[in-house]
């Protein structure tokens, strides 16, 4: 992306002044190298988002930003319903509430090593992964609606976990305001037997070793110690979320002129928050958030079953579970006044700092764990929300490394079998139903996650706490 379009505010912040139809500036949080590496389309998408009705402060891009549908992936924007603000399905994305959850094992890497291969094989056999993967749960109409209303709480009530899990999940495991009636029958059919499955693409379950700590106080509070092993799960709302996104984007494109909205890009199809269409989308989207929370909860249960078999006595307590690809109503201070805004985070995660009332009591004085997933074979990170971050992008941070090339380009450059063998030589066991999928997700197809995390830290979005190295990766 051309740096000449931006004014440098700091070594990790760049600002584009409003031009043309832009109502607010566009801001990118990244170092110069990361900004240059971004596709020009990121700048175009930021400018288009900045032109939407009711947008507040700025259109933001995180250090991992890359081109997406409507919003750039890694995009953040907030809208005020009192000022004609809109909700955009393209500002949430298709994989609604895709997110990361990390769990303690209490085991060291040395203790895992003798059962390393067996653990990888059992996890792969027990947790469905891949395109069209289905699980052992098949939900009837009543159970589907119950799951969409109650999320991870629904799963815990049915024996897939413990009540204590809910304290370490965003929204305490249940997104309020979900309306299953706004979810189409087709979306529900797609999800009927997909609960407890990873899906495909960049979704994974990883066994990871903590290899470095940066903030001892936060690491102690999160119970992270060098040499110990954690499990991270990255997945979302599967077919249901994709169907909701597809259906509402079509409706919003058709309805926009009737609302007097002149879209800068059809992919930014939106509706006024207070319209019946905007409210219907929010109800369906919140149901999809609950679907994703339930999905990760059931996968957690399956992982616990494997560890109980292979490593008896392992508990797998939650560190935290945080979503990206959401729109949430949150209070934020703007111009010295508190306003209730609808914050879109697409490929971005919330990063609440110390004192935020949404955090669990034992974490409130330290801040929210921010979980940054790596790309297959590369490091992941745990960060913590900061006080300074409240004033940056509505307390948001990056969510991963961000793609540097398309999946098609990746398959032309890498072969799945060769990648599996090379990563095994590096000490990372890959298990996947698709070698083509492995090639699509080659580590080299992504940005340097360490550079992305360093930029987020320097920009004040969140502070580095721990670095995690993969040992086993179950890839969708």
Query: Total domain count for the chain?
Result: 1
Provide the percentage of residues in the chain whose pLDDT is more than 70: 100
434 in any annotated domain: no
pLDDT of residue 134: 87
What integer pLDDT is reported at residue 132 of this predicted model? 84
Q: What is the pLDDT of residues 258-301, one digit of tens each?
A: 999 999 999 999 999 999 999 999 999 999 999 999 999 999 99
Taking the CB of residue 415, how many other CB atoms lie within 10 A of it?
Answer: 14
Here the tokens at position 151 are 């999320």
The answer to pTM > 0.95 is yes
Measured on CA atoms in the order 306, 307, 313, 317, is the torsion positive or negative?
Answer: negative
Structural domain contains residue 416: no
Which of the residues are catalytic?
A: 399
> What is the pLDDT, as a whole number, of residue 135?
85
E strands, 37-177, in order: 55-66, 73-79, 86-88, 99-108
> What does the alpha-carbon distance between residue 173 and residue 152 come to, in Å, rounded to a whole number?
5
- Residue 373: Cβ-neighbour burial (10 angstroms; 0-12, 13-18, 19+): buried
Q: Would you say residue 411 lies in a domain? A: no
Quick check: 239 pLDDT over 90?
A: yes
Is 414 within 8 Å of 436 (Cβ atoms)?
A: no
Please state, in angstroms and as integers, the Cα–Cα distance from residue 12 to each residue in 30, 61, 63, 383, following that order: 5, 12, 9, 17
Q: Phi and psi of 209, rounded to 5°?
A: -100, 135
**Is position 412 within any domain?**
no
Strand partners, 231: 103, 207
* CB 22, CB 51: distance < 8 Å: yes
Q: How confident is the model at residue 165 (pLDDT cuts 50, 70, 90)?
A: very high
Q: Does residue 26 form part of some domain?
A: yes
Please determine, for residue 131, whether its predicted confidence score (pLDDT) is greater than 90.
no
Which pLDDT band holds residue 191 (cuts at 50, 70, 90)?
Answer: very high
Q: Is residue 428 part of a domain?
A: no
CATH number, residue 390? 3.90.1860.10
- Taking Cα atoms as reference points, which of 74, 71, 64 lies closest to residue 455? 64
Tell me the pLDDT tens digit for each residue of 422-460: 999 999 999 999 999 999 999 999 999 999 999 999 999
* Mean pLDDT value of segment 90-99: 97
Report the pLDDT averaged over residues 14-37.
97
pLDDT confidence bin for 162, thresholds 50/70/90 = very high
Asked if residue 358 belongs to a domain, the reply is yes
Calculate mean pLDDT across residues 45-66.
Answer: 98
Span 335-345, average pLDDT: 96
Residue 476's pLDDT band (cuts 50, 70, 90): confident
By residue range, what is the domain housing residue 241? 3-404+446-475
Residue 371 resides in a domain: yes
pLDDT in tens, 371-401: 999 988 899 999 999 999 988 999 999 999 9
Angle, helix 116-126 to helix 276-310, in steps of 10 degrees: 140
Lowest-pLDDT range of 1-15, 128-142, 296-310: 128-142
| Total residue length of the chain | 476
Separation between Cα atoms, residue 233 and residue 299, nearest integer Å: 8
What is the rounded distance in angstroms from the CA atom of residue 233 to the CA atom of residue 304?
12
Strand stretches in 214-249, DSSP E? 228-235
**pLDDT mean across residues, the chain:** 96
359 pLDDT band (50/70/90 cuts)? very high
Note every long-range contact of 420-424, with CB atoms under 8 Å and residues 24 or more positions apart, other chains counting. 423/376, 423/377, 423/473
pLDDT band at 331 (very low <50, low <70, confident <90, very high): very high
């Amino acid at each position: 992306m051309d740096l000449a379009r931006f004014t440098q505010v700091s070594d990790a912040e760049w600002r584009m002044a409003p031009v043309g139809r832009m109502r607010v500036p566009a801001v990118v949080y990244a170092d110069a190298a990361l900004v240059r590496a971004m596709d020009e389309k990121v700048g175009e998408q930021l400018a288009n988002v900045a032109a939407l009705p009711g947008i507040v402060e700025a259109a933001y891009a995180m250090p991992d930003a890359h081109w997406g549908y409507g919003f750039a992936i890694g995009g953040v924007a907030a809208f005020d319903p009192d000022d004609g603000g809109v909700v955009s399905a393209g500002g949430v994305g298709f994989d609604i509430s895709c997110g990361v959850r990390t769990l303690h094992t209490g085991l060291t890497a040395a203790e895992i090593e003798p059962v390393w291969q067996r653990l990888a094989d059992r996890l792969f056999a027990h947790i469905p992964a891949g395109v069209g993967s289905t699980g052992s749960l098949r939900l009837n109409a009543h159970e589907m609606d119950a799951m969409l209303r109650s999320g991870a709480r629904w799963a815990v009530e049915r024996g897939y976990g413990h009540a204590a899990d809910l304290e370490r999940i965003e929204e305490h495991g249940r997104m309020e305001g979900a309306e299953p009636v706004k979810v189409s029958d087709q979306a529900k059919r797609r999800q009927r037997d997909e609960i407890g499955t990873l899906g495909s693409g960049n979704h994974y379950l990883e066994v990871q070793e903590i290899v470095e700590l940066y903030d001892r106080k936060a690491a102690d509070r999160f119970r992270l110690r060098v040499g110990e092993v954690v499990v991270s799960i990255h997945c979302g709302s599967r077919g249901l979320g994709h169907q909701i996104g597809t259906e509402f984007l079509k409706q919003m494109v058709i309805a926009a002129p009737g609302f007097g909205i002149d879209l800068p890009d059809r992919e930014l199809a939106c509706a006024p928050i207070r319209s019946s269409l905007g409210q219907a989308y929010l109800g369906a989207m919140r149901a999809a958030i609950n679907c994703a929370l339930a999905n990760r909860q059931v996968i957690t249960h399956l992982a616990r079953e494997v560890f109980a078999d292979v490593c008896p006595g392992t508990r797998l307590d939650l560190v935290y579970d945080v979503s990206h690809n959401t729109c949430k109503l949150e209070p934020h201070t703007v111009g010295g006044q508190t306003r209730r805004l609808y914050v879109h985070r697409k490929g971005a995660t919330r990063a609440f700092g110390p004192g935020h009332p949404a955090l669990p009591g034992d974490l409130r004085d330290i801040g929210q764990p921010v979980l940054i997933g790596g790309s297959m074979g590369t490091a992941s990170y745990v960060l913590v929300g900061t006080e300074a971050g409240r004033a940056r992008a509505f307390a948001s941070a990056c969510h991963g490394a961000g793609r540097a090339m398309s999946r098609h380009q990746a398959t032309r450059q890498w072969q799945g079998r060769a990648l599996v063998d090379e990563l095994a030589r590096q000490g990372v066991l890959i298990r996947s139903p698709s070698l083509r999928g492995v090639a699509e997700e080659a580590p080299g197809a992504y940005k340097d996650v360490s550079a992305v995390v360093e930029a987020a830290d320097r920009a004040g979005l969140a502070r580095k706490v721990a670095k995690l190295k993969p040992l086993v990766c179950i890839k969708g």
